[in-house]
């Protein structure tokens, strides 16, 4: 189930997130090629760990931006839905 937000805004880190996502996608494509080429499993696992770390760091940037902007606005306007949605998102992100 996805949550749709009906407001449009730009965060300060949007371009950095897009750039990091592009790099992570490229890295994951390289890992796919390693598997296709029959590279050593240990090497593949190390590269998968690097991709996971990159994706987690992207999530942290998005979370920080969300707290600075959306959550701060929600607190001042009393919008509990944003806070509840954040709680659900953090739970899923941490699994």
Q: What are phi and psi of 46, to 5 degrees?
A: -65, -40
Q: Which residues, at least 6 apart from 39, have a Cβ–Cβ distance to it below 8 Å?
A: none
- Calpha distance 91→95 (Å, rounded): 7
Domain membership flag for residue 4: no
Structural domain boundaries, residue 33: 14-94
Q: Which residues, at least 6 apart from 71, have a Cβ–Cβ distance to it below 8 Å?
A: 82, 83, 86
CATH code at position 40:
1.20.58.1000
What confidence category does residue 2 fall into, taking pLDDT thresholds of 50, 70 and 90?
A: very low
pTM comes to 0.77
Count of the separate structural domains present in the chain: 1
Helix axes 14-36, 41-66, angle to 10 degrees: 170
Domain membership flag for residue 6: no
Residue-wise pLDDT tens digits, 61-87: 999 998 888 888 888 888 889 889 999
Domain membership flag for residue 29: yes
Domain membership flag for residue 78: yes
With a cut of 50, say whether residue 1 has pLDDT above it: no
């Amino acid at each position: 189930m996805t949550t749709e937000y009906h407001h449009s805004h730009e965060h300060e880190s949007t371009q950095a997130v897009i750039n990091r996502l592009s790099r992570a996608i490229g890295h994951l494509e390289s890992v796919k090629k390693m598997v296709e080429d029959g590279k050593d499993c240990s090497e593949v696992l190390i590269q998968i760990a690097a991709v996971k770390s990159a994706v987690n760091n992207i999530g942290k940037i998005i979370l920080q931006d969300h707290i600075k902007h959306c959550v701060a606005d929600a607190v001042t306007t009393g919008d509990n839905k944003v806070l509840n949605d954040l709680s659900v998102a953090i739970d899923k992100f941490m699994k």
